[in-house]
Amino acid sequence: VVEVRISREVCKKCSREAGGYYESIVQIRADGRKIDDDELEVVRRVIENILIKERENPKAFVSKIVERKEGIDFYFGDKNIGRKVSREIVKALGGKLIESRKLHTRIDGRNIYRYTFAVRLPCYRVGDIVLDGGKICIATGRDKGIAVDSLSGVNLKEPKVVRRREELERGVVVNYDEYIVEVASERGVVQAVKAGDVEIGEEVYFFEYDSRFYAIPKRVYEGC
């Protein structure tokens, strides 16, 4: 007969995770707008991929997720993972990253800090219409756009949103010449600046800015 005593313990990683341990916070915010669901999906994929790569790291976990009115915060067990995540998010979605730290405690004479990585996403989303350097452009990605008047690529430097993608109207081309296209829509027939070649009967997106209408072929806009 052998007497066995069972002692139940929690590993250090699980203990930390269950106790809400964290060394860094990644704050996701968007400049002057709400964070889009597509952007949140990109953020989640970035986090998942990095945690998989860091699976041997005992601090590779998210201890808490807090949804706030202004955005969402992710609490990470390791400060370096928070740094990696925030940098990858900026690479994928654009924007700016601000890093700061705050003294948390002292252990064995060493200062222990908690880090905050504030990610500020751009004011625009892909598909928004922006004004940049006097040009009206379709935002196509991180710091990238297409000028509406020439459909040529541009680098966005100081974009200002003039129309959200959900605010664009749709219509059908009924007539056109070299510069102007007539578009039949729910608001009636409007004359708009033509962007690219069009055909009668073709569907276009259009919007008004500074008392002028601009029309973008659907195939061009959705291909951006």
pLDDT tens for each residue of 35-77: 989 899 999 999 999 999 999 999 999 999 999 999 999 999 9
Model pTM score: 0.77
Distance CA 127, CA 31 (A): 16
Phi-psi region of 14 (alpha: psi -120 to 50; beta: other; left: phi over 0): alpha
* pLDDT over threshold 90, residue 11: no
Kindly state the average pLDDT of the residues 3-31: 84
* pLDDT over threshold 80, residue 181: yes
Strand locations in the chain (E)? 24-30, 62-68, 71-76, 96-107, 110-121, 129-132, 135-141, 144-147, 153-155, 160-163, 169-176, 180-185, 188-194, 203-209, 212-217
